[in-house]
Copies of this chain bind each other. A is one copy, B any other.
Amino acid sequence: MSKKRNDRITSRDVDFAKWYTDVVIQADLIDYGPVKGTMIFKPHGYGIWELIMQTLDVEFKQQGIENVYLPLLIPASLFNQEKEHIEGFAPEVLTVTKVGDKPLEEELYIRPTSEVLFSQYFKNNIHSYRDLPLKNNQWVNVMRWEKTTRPFLRTSEFLWQEGHTMHQTSVEANQFALTILNLYAKFVEEYLLIPVVKGIKTINERFAGARETYTIESLMHDGQALQTGTSHFLGDNFAKVFDIKFQNADRELEYAYGTSWGVSTRMIGALIMTHADDEGLVLPSKIAPVQVQILQLGLDEPVQRVVDQLKLDLSKNYRIKVDASDKTFGYKMSASEIKGIPIRIEVGMRDVAQEQVVISSRVGEGKTAVKLDQVKTFVDQAVITYDQQLFSRAKTSLETRIYQAQTLSEYQKGIETQPGLYLVPFCGRVVCEKEVKQKTSTNSRCIPFNHDQSVEPCFNCGQATKIKAYFGRAY
């Protein structure tokens, strides 16, 4: 690693938590909001979320999913209908009790998620098998009051998409939940350049009210895991509670089967903890609000002409920003670096006189003088190389930190000295997982698909089991 140059950012190896918040603030992603645990998404932070939304929205529409908007507030009586669900969310739910000075007749909850609203909506709009599958999504804000909060990772209010679908059969619904999980995994790996592990949540970690929760998990730079997206197979659970029935082709009434799934602004936290470094943010090109920054040095006419031409040419394929301010070169370079902009092009008199500019990337070593007529080709290749570098180093970081453990003490020792994901034989019982959590302050991340099925004793209770699960510290 090169020598640390930015003294506004704590070194990642010295204090990871402090490093994280320094990057978030110095990269101009957010300000803290006036209410505990809330954030102001500044243009650079919101710009990343806009690109995430745009990309996923196209993918959803290709799956026949249509966007809707359901209300922010849920009447307490409606929310309380599904027991497991309300138990899971009750302690975190913000409650509206009055308007101005006047008390409301019924208390209203700010949505922590919208399964119950969608259930009522589905009940009203599903009558026949012809109405199925019904696939909807919404991009909204939700609130969950958290004790300890951290920007992006755990905030009282966050932005997300929540998809909700209904199907004729259990098999189709379950299959669709997996389709979405794969869509998420592809997006996270190809756009955010974060490698993922796919799997099933244990019963203890399952979404309140779901029959099965599928998850993608990623490993952050400090060896802690982060759940980047979940997709739930709800079975006919909500359908039974909210009486969502359809007439099948034989004119019989049947319960419908549901899914729900979401990814949130949490993904931006994963981005930071995967790619950023001691100099600041590092953004994958596909979700970088600015992909190429032109650092204009001086306002001389030849420089201006080259900047204008480059801007015109490169804008066709890239999101470009020109820094033509009167700040020093060092300041401009540092600002571009902190914000994680992938490619920088320096345009100054000396180089322009030689019909060239100087190009560098946020992660590569050194700079290259490139002739003006070669800039486009060079940038095209530099962006590809840059993204490959990001994914490749993240993949190495994940792969080298997947371990195995057979016993709890082996696991405990491992997690202390070599943080990462530990594949362990696990009985899967809630009581056993709670015991592990109490002893280690860690829990299961997922039961990976296609793991070795040999019978072994559970790493905690010793009970014979075929299941293997990843355990580790997590955000």
Contact = CB atoms under 8 A, between A and B. Distances in A.
Interface stretch (A31-39, A203-211, A379-387): A31-39
Nearest to A38: B71
Contacts of A98: 94-95, 97
A116 B68 CA distance: 29
Contacts of A136: 43
A276 to B, nearest CB: 21
Number of copies: 2
A299 interface: no
A28 B470 CA distance: 46
A68 B96 CA distance: 26
A42 B68 contact: yes
Q: How large is the interface on A (under 10, 10 to 19, 20 to 34, 35 or more residues)?
A: 35 or more
Given A40-B68, A40-B117, 11 more contacts: A33-B71, A35-B73, A41-B70, A43-B67, A46-B68, A71-B157, A72-B110, A91-B99, A91-B100, A94-B99, A95-B99
A457 to B, nearest CB: 40
A298 interface: no
A40 B159 CA distance: 19
- Most B CB contacts (10 A, CB to CB) among A42, A50, A130 go to A42
Nearest to A79: B34
Contact of A67 (B46, B69, B96, B130): B46
Contacts of A141: 72, 140-141
A124 B42 CA distance: 12
B120 A34 contact: yes
Interface in A12-47: 31, 33-35, 38-43, 46-47
Interface of A: 31, 33-35, 38-43, 46-47, 49-50, 66-75, 78, 90-100, 108, 110, 117, 120-121, 124-125, 130, 136, 140-141, 143, 145, 157, 159, 325
A124 B28 CA distance: 12
Contact of A100 (B72, B90, B121): B90
Nearest to A289: B66
A100 B87 CA distance: 11
- Most B CB contacts (10 A, CB to CB) among A68, A71, A94 go to A71
Contact of A143 (B72, B124, B143): B72
Contacts of A42: 68, 125
B108 A71 contact: no
A55 B42 CA distance: 22
